[in-house]
Amino acid sequence: MDVKSILAKMSIEEKIDLCCGADFWHSVAFEKYGLPAITVADGPHGLRFQYGESDMLGIHNSVPATCFPTAAATGCSWDIDLLKEIGSAIAEEAQTNGVDAILGPGLNIKRSPLCGRNFEYFSEDPYLTGQLGAAFVLGIQENGVSACLKHFAANSQEYKRFSSNGHVDERTLREIYLSGFEKAVDLGKPSMIMSAYDKINGIYCSDNKWLLTDVLRDEWGFDGIVVTDWGGMHSRVAGFKSGCDWSMPGGGTTHLQRSALKAYQLGELSEHEINKCAKRMVNRILLATANRQCSKEFDKDAHYQMALKAATESAVLLKNDSILPLSVDSVAVIGYMAKNPRYQGSGSSHINPTKLTSLCDAVPDWFYAEGCDQLGNTNEYLLEQAKEAARKSKICVVVAGLPESYESEGFDRNDMKMPNGHIRMIDIVANVNPNTVVVLLCGSPVETPWIDKVKAVIYMGLPGQAGGEAIFDLLTGKANPSGKLPETWPLHYEDAPCAEYYGSPHRDAQYREGIYVGYRYYETATVPVRFPFGYGLSYTRFEYSDLYIEGMNVHVTIKNCGKVDGAEIAQLYVTPPKPGIHRPDKELRGFCKVFLKSGESKEVTFILNERSFAVWEDGWKVQKGKYEIKIASSVRDARLSQIIEINGIEVPVSHWQDGSWYASPKDYPPKEDFEKMLGHLVHAPEPLRKGNFTDENTIAEMAEYSFFVRIVKNAMIKAISKDNGGKPDYNNPTFRMTYASSVDAALFNLAISSCGAMPVNVAYGILEIANGHFFNGIRLLVKKDR
């Protein structure tokens, strides 16, 4: 049957059921209509698929799969072909396991270095994000599996992510937080998009018709399905009206279906609105069924080699005082993570690798000292061992960074600092042996107070299961580092423009810095940084020459002037005319990664278009005037430039711009200027107090005001600590994420994502009791349905 005939046979109740999940990973099957269940799995950097699991508590119990480097690493590759290859390999493993859709890639912008989920995202720049995301999508979908962009949109903090309200102006949304998604939709044609948990200007993303229909579908032409983040359907009725097609997970969530059916019966929800979502669901299920391939084993060795290639090409050489590549065998490897590597992130993307290679596995003959423990702590005994190894060796390689307890889905980092034990370990080794190299394993920038004491630094990000072998190849010159940073590394966290108001204790996100995110701020405000956007060294050197522009095509010649083969990432930035509407000093508008043998030259071409020069001002508009085109090795290393004249219009300047922070950004933007840009005041959330709680509040919040809720909280903590004898372990990122997704999740989210573990009547009974309505709460608790 075709889509139209299937819909004609389905009842309203069946259509509503179709738009809610069956369990944690599957859609509802309607075999009588030829609609089998479709299966989804996590997969931003590898397949996380659970047979027989129905919740997040079995997060580590997934099928063996290739763990590729996370997006924090592959973003450093700036390599479209590489991302497409990774997507293709993950899709092959999905087909092997009968998975129809991969929940990834993540395209959220790295607004702050502290976001706990930054390791899943590519960049602070939307153009780079969109290009890499589109390539990943193409690789997945060319192999018959659906890709799902996430988290749409403005999901920039983990703190209170289930109910945070993002205050943001439309220009900032369009130019920064939506632009990467737009590019990936245009170039990659993804089959699915996941709505984010948060609110944008007071409206939950799942309820947001402007976001999901007006922009995503009507403007961008997206024709796939929108699925909620797990437990992220705020209102099933508003979801139908907004164009949010599929509420996940299912199981124990019949209150969503009941609410939609009741609204339909009362005339508040039309059959036409339900049909639009159901039609997209039927179409996607039929396409997924048609694309299924015969199950076959994937080549684990070939995929390991792919992971090795990805880790190698994503590494960034941050410093090299003529010590790398290593030319001696007397090397000491120091650090817990040299033997037990931090190779992936924590949370829903955690992969069970088919094989894992540490640096110690790759070089078993080098001296080894632990130096610190799993949590990043050290003591005099461990430090003395490290000093002894450093004395015996000509060169020391210290592996450090961030333990897994420092960054994860579910919580944000407290600061940009590395563990004190790692810093002490580096300091002591470097004091004993000046020929010290540091290898950093972390999913986001860190402060580096020790950097002047060491000879070289390689940033590996979170490099996946083959990271240890990649590190050895890079240290010894078998591979030439070619990665460049897709995000700025500030000297100190306080240098970030959002540092004063980002994350805890600020439940709501205020995007006060506007369009000045990452290098857009640091370059415009001329703030010193540790490492600029687009920065990365090589074992060779490259020269740029012969810049010429023909229409919208920019040509430049790049030559490898060194003695070894290598790859260069050339970047094109546009500097706008002044005066006029406030804009960043530079914006990335093109890049090209080119491999050159020693002595080889190649001409590369960047293709610009109107959007390369446009700003959002009630639509995309191009300001007429003179623009400077800069060809650069990093945002602070322009090699060639040329002025071009662009025909356009006079873009009006808002009355509030003159004299505001945005006209000349420096330090932290005042709230008053932000409110002028928004056009309204920003009010703080209502203070917590008994009688004032809603279903947006959490068990953790209400427990502070209710003895009964404290009992519930303690029972929940015991349940999610079952793998640790019922005792909470706040150093365990999986426990912390699970805590944030249950005890500290909004009640409406908990009633959905728990798959029936907390029935909706229980959730709202607890809410009534927390608000002081004890007997009303008890009546709800004992009621079977609500």
Average pLDDT over every residue of 418-440: 97
Which amino acid is present at 282? V
Among 167, 245, 259, CA closest to 683: 167
Residue 283's identity, in one-letter code, is N
pTM over 0.85: yes
Residue labelled with tokens 């056009």? 679
User: Which pLDDT score, from 0 to 100, does residue 784 have?
Assistant: 66
Tell me what pLDDT residue 723 has.
Answer: 81
- Which H or E run includes 734? helix 733-740
pLDDT band at 417 (very low <50, low <70, confident <90, very high): very high
Of the pLDDT bands very low, low, confident and very high (cuts 50, 70, 90), residue 632 is very high
pLDDT category of residue 591 using cuts at 50, 70 and 90:
very high
Across all residues in the chain, what is the average pLDDT?
94
Q: Tell me, what's the pLDDT at 757?
A: 75
Mean pLDDT over 501-515 rounds to 94
Instruction: Give CA–CA dist 3/5, Å, rounded.
Output: 6
Instruction: Give the mean model confidence (pLDDT) for residues 561-575.
Output: 98
Phi, psi of 345 (to 5 degrees): -85, 175
The 10s digit of each residue's pLDDT in 654-670 is 999 999 999 999 999 99
What's the CATH number for 36-239? 3.20.20.300
List C-alpha distances in Å: 523 to 9, 137, 532, 575, 676. Answer: 60, 31, 9, 11, 24
Which residue numbers are catalytic?
A: 229
8 A C-beta contact, residue 613 and residue 622: yes
Inter-helix orientation angle 271-291/254-265, to 10°: 140
Identify any residues that bridge with 544 across adjacent strands, giving them in sequence order. 558
721, 727 in Cβ contact below 8 A?
yes
Residue 303 burial by Cβ neighbours in a 10 Å radius (0-12, 13-18, 19+): buried
Q: How confident is the model at residue 253 (pLDDT cuts 50, 70, 90)?
A: confident
User: To which residue do tokens 């009941």 refer?
Assistant: 258
- Percent pLDDT > 90 in the chain is 87
Given a cut of 70, whether residue 450 has pLDDT beyond it is: yes
Binned at pLDDT 50, 70 and 90, residue 255 comes out as confident
**Residue-wise over 468-505: b if at least 16 C-beta within 10 A, else e?**
bbbbbbbbbeebbbbbbbbbbbbeebebbbbbebbbee
- Compare 579 and 295 and report the one with higher pLDDT: 579
- 3-class state of residue 283 by DSSP: helix
Q: Are 724 and 735 in contact (CB under 8 A)?
A: yes
Structure token digits, residue 254: 């019949």
CB neighbour list of residue 10: distance below 8 Å, 6 or more residues apart: 18, 30, 33, 278
- CATH class (in words) of the domain with range 301-484: alpha beta
- Indicate the pairing of strand 529-531 with strand 165-167: unpaired
Average pLDDT score over residue span 418-426: 98
Domain with CATH 3.40.50.1700 in the chain: 301-484
Strand partners, 746: 698
Residues of the chain with CATH 2.60.40.10: 540-651
Q: Where is pLDDT greater, at 430 or 734?
A: 430
If phi > 0 it is left, if psi is from -120 to 50 it is alpha, else beta; for residue 447 that is: beta
Q: Is residue 629 within 8 Å of 554, Cβ to Cβ? A: yes
Alpha carbon distance 56, 97 (integer Å): 19
Nearest-angstrom CA–CA distance, 374 and 463: 18
- In the predicted structure, residue 57 carries a pLDDT above the cut 60: no
Specify whether the CB–CB gap between 699 and 713 falls below 8 A.
Answer: yes
Question: What does the pLDDT look like over 159-195, one tens digit per residue?
Answer: 999 999 999 999 999 999 999 999 999 999 999 999 9
Cα–Cα distance measured from residue 318 to residue 316, given in angstroms and rounded to the nearest whole number: 6
pLDDT of residue 27: 96
For 586, residues 6+ apart whose C-beta sits below 8 A from its C-beta are 519, 520, 523, 573, 574, 575, 630, 635
Token reading at 476: 């010894």
Q: What is the mean pLDDT of residues 540-547?
A: 98
The pLDDT, as a whole number, for residue 52 is 63
Cβ neighbours around 384 below 10 Å, total? 12
Give the separation between CA 556 and CA 448, rounded to whole angstroms: 35
Is residue 317 pLDDT above 80, yes or no? yes
Which DSSP string do the residues of 417-440 spell out, in sequence order?
A: PPPHHHHHHHHHHHHH-S-EEEEE
* pLDDT number for residue 60: 58
Beta partners for residue 554, in sequence order: 549, 606
CA–CA distance, 403 with 764 (Å, rounded to integer):
38
Identify the burial level of 35 via C-beta atoms within 10 angstroms of its C-beta, where 0-12 means exposed, 13-18 middle and 19 or more buried: buried
Look at residues 745, 578, 786 and name the one whose alpha carbon lies nearest to residue 56: 745
pLDDT at residue 782, rounded to an integer: 87
Decide: residue 208, CB within 10 A, 0-12 exposed, 13-18 middle, 19+ buried.
buried
Q: Does the 540-651 domain belong in CATH 2.60.40.10? A: yes
pLDDT at residue 58, as a whole number: 52
Q: Which residue has the tokens 């200007």?
A: 201
Task: Give the pLDDT score at 722.
Answer: 86
Phi, psi angles (nearest 5°) of residue 121: -115, 155
Percentage of residues in the chain having pLDDT higher than 70: 98
What whole-number distance in Å separates Cα of residue 71 and Cα of residue 58?
A: 23
**For 350-451, where are the E strands, in sequence order?**
352-353, 367-369, 395-401, 436-441
Distance, CA of 120 to CA of 373 (rounded, Å): 25
* Confidence check: pLDDT of 434 > 60: yes
Tell me the per-residue pLDDT of 572-586, one tens digit each, with 9 for 90 and over. 999 999 999 999 999
* Interatomic CA distance for residues 194 and 154, integer angstroms: 12
Instruction: Determine how many CB atoms are found less than 10 A away from the CB of residue 76.
Output: 27
- CA-nearest of 416, 414, 436 to 425 is 436
Q: Does residue 464 carry a pLDDT above 80?
A: yes
Task: Report the range of poorest mean pLDDT among 249-263, 548-562, 766-780.
Answer: 249-263
Cα distances from 264 to residues 269, 362, 785, in angstroms, run 4, 63, 19
Predicted confidence at residue 471, as pLDDT, reads 98
Residue 786 confidence (pLDDT) above 70 = no
Q: Are 752 and 249 in contact (CB under 8 A)?
A: yes
Helices (H) and strands (E) in the chain, counts: 25, 28
Q: Which residues of the chain does CATH 3.20.20.300 include?
A: 36-239
Q: What is the pLDDT of residue 548?
A: 97
Environment class of 191 (CB within 10 Å of its CB; exposed 0-12, middle 13-18, buried 19+):
buried
